[in-house]
A and B are shown apart, each in its own frame.
Chain A
Amino acid sequence: MPGFLREGDVVRFKLSDDGILFDSGKLKYTLLKSTENRILVKIDNKIKEIFYDADRERVSVMSSGVLHTISVLTDREILLREFIKSSASIHHHSEIRAPMPGMVVKVSVIAGQKVVKGETLVILEAMKMENEIRSPRDAEVENVLVSAGDIVEKNQLLVSLK
């Protein structure tokens, strides 16, 4: 069984009829019931209710009030991701995206401008709060894709840095 795990850790496992086989051991459980967001299992003499949400490769569970999210990937998917990540870091290019849907109140930078880490790039209003979107590093603004008054969706590209 995997012991204490940290962010970024990769755990290999195989499925068997009565549990999960890890390199380090086996987690045995009996599946009693499973519905869309709820699983009932028996582990030794404890009946556990597991609340989960699956979205593509991501599986989230809520345990003691905390939402934990893990990604379930095949070896090929992991390789593909690592390739994308390394090619992106070669170009040292960052995309600043909207963390939530909202309205652009102010754009504080223009293309070509040098910015320092922590400098405000865009002010985004959502749920009546003004949120300052700051630069993650010292960089040059490559492109500004929004202007004041624009309504943006979550993850929409706001500014690109180089």
Chain B
Amino acid sequence: MNKIRKILVANRGEIALRIMRTIREMGLLSVAVYSDVDVTMPFVRYADEAYNLKGNEAKDTYLNIEKLIDIAKLSGVDAIHPGYGFLSENADFAKSVINAGLIFIGPQPGAISSMGDKTAARRLAKEFGVPIVPGMENPVTDIEEAVREAEKIGYPVLIKAAAGGGGKGMRIVRSRSELESNISAAKGEALSAFGDDRVYIEKFISNPRHIEFQILADEYGNIVHLYERECSIQRRHQKVVEETPSTALSPEVRREMGEAAVRAAMACQYSNAGTVEFVIDDEGHYYFLEMNTRLQVEHPITELTTGIDLVKEQIRIAQGEKLSFTQEEVVKLGHAIECRIYAEDVYNSFLPDTGIIKFLREPAGNGVRVDSGVESGNEISVYYDPMIAKLSVWARTRDDAIRKMRRALEEYVVLGVQTTIPFCNFVMDSTPFKSGRYSTNFVAELWNLQPDSNDIPLEAFIAASVVLKSGRTIEDGKETIKIKSKWLDRRFEE
């Protein structure tokens, strides 16, 4: 057994910091890598050592395998943790790490490639008796074939990137006339996100719920699942709010899906942490969607309800330890919800916002967990994902968890960029979410692009008066406050 002493975290922001915290708790050392613009971010100075990747574009920094391996050798680490996104599901990276004589904290490269190719994963899942969404088992080769396949499956269809994940390169197509332009757009997105433009077509399931199972597997064939996470509240096919347990599963279906998830992991001889994603249609049938061969963004809600530190388990498994618990020993307690706080303008199609965070105050208190990667003064730049933090809460019941989330969201203060907080508030207050009856159509069906009321709070007038008193010249002692909309579509200035 190769005991790990020092780990390079090949990632940035909140996830780099979250991983380094566990590394420190385990008495190990951490190494950060950072791009030029990231030098002032908290994860860089949290690490025991930090190395500049020089540059800002992802391809020159967090996606640059050569630079990362060089720094790993230079800093004398035993292992590399890839986090999520960037190179976390890149089999070539995992191979390069292993070839450099280091431990890759994640699955074997073979499992990454077989699950990373979504069409290969579908074939494998089918073979192991896991139900799959009807559709193509191989990527699109030409447009005529795509037209034929889409006709055969029946519109609406979903175009997905074979190398995909995170909703990138994914498009819903409702008719033949939209097919070609969407395939080319999906290919473009897939190429820039994954360096692979292969896409395939599957049946678009209407009103689906998106439910995934957390898997932990050691290198000796022991596999357990840590139950589900419901991830149906999405915009642009990307999750914003997640919860566990899901209100959609009966105990029998939950057990069945858990077993199917374990079989999917078995199919690719999986080791380390992974997530098996399913969609459930409105009749309650579940289908395998894909397996994410990495730590998931929303992993905190599983940690809150099981008490298991997933990063610690990942490191233990990677250094050859056996799982220290069996399926029966996994105890799940209470209810957890996560809200992702992104820099986005929720009143303008959730477009990413950029800028400097001028002021930040995070919520706290009993049952509140904040996985944050930024502080006041940090910039949300155009180079990377606009995530500010993940806010998770735990309570004994679902109702209490919703109330706790509402309270925590109210405590959150972010100045400088627009955030998803108003949307998260809306979700917590909405009847479909409160009743537990919702699907991935939540945003399309319920979210108003304009708020119901835009009552300007008194605070705005007080702030304006303080600003005026502290500097601005006042003409005739009389000022006018004009209410200016923040939700007018600013793209079009007529």
Contact = CB atoms under 8 A, between A and B. Distances in A.
Interface of A: 1-2, 4-15, 20, 27, 29, 31, 34, 36-39, 41, 43, 48, 50-54, 58-76, 78, 88-89, 94-97, 99-102, 105-106, 123, 125-131, 133, 136, 154
A39 B165 CA distance: 44
| Nearest 8 interchain pairs by C-beta | A52-B463, A136-B492, A65-B421, A37-B359, A7-B485, A71-B484, A63-B457, A101-B382
B192 A125 contact: yes
A61 B466 CA distance: 12
Contacts of A59: 460, 463-464, 467
Interface of B: 168, 185, 188-189, 192-193, 236, 348, 351-354, 358-359, 361, 382, 384-386, 409-410, 412-416, 418-419, 421-422, 424-425, 451, 453-470, 472, 474-475, 477-494
A129 B414 CA distance: 24
A7 to B, nearest CB: 4
A118 B276 CA distance: 38
A132 B22 CA distance: 41
Contacts of A67: 414-415, 418-419, 422, 486
Contacts of A130: 185, 188-189
A39 B382 contact: no
A97 B491 contact: yes
The winner among A4, A52, A96 for most chain B CB atoms within 10 A is A52
A62 B494 contact: no
A65 B480 contact: no
Nearest to A89: B494
Contacts of B419: 67
A104 B13 CA distance: 27
A5 B460 CA distance: 12
Contact of B481 (A50, A70, A123): A70
26 contacts: A4-B453, A5-B456, A8-B485, A11-B481, A11-B482, A13-B481, A14-B478, A20-B465, A50-B462, A51-B415, A53-B359, A59-B463, A61-B460, A65-B409, A65-B425, A66-B425, A69-B484, A72-B467, A74-B480, A100-B353, A100-B382, A102-B382, A126-B382, A127-B386, A129-B189, A133-B491
A131 B491 CA distance: 12
Contacts of B359: 36-38, 51, 53
Q: Is the interface of A mostly helix, strand, loop or mixed?
A: strand
A129 B188 CA distance: 10
A3 B72 CA distance: 61
A117 to B, nearest CB: 11
Contact of A10 (B354, B422, B462, B482): B482
Contacts of B486: 67-69
A48 B358 CA distance: 20
Contacts of A99: 348, 351, 490-491
The winner among B192, B410, B453, B463 for most chain A CB atoms within 10 A is B463
The winner among A43, A88, A128, A130 for most chain B CB atoms within 10 A is A128
B354 A94 contact: no
A64 B425 contact: yes
A123 B463 CA distance: 39
Contacts of B351: 99-100, 131
B380 to A, nearest CB: 10
A27 B188 contact: no
B462 A27 contact: yes
Given A15-B468, A29-B462, 9 more contacts: A12-B481, A14-B477, A52-B460, A53-B358, A60-B415, A66-B422, A99-B490, A99-B491, A128-B193
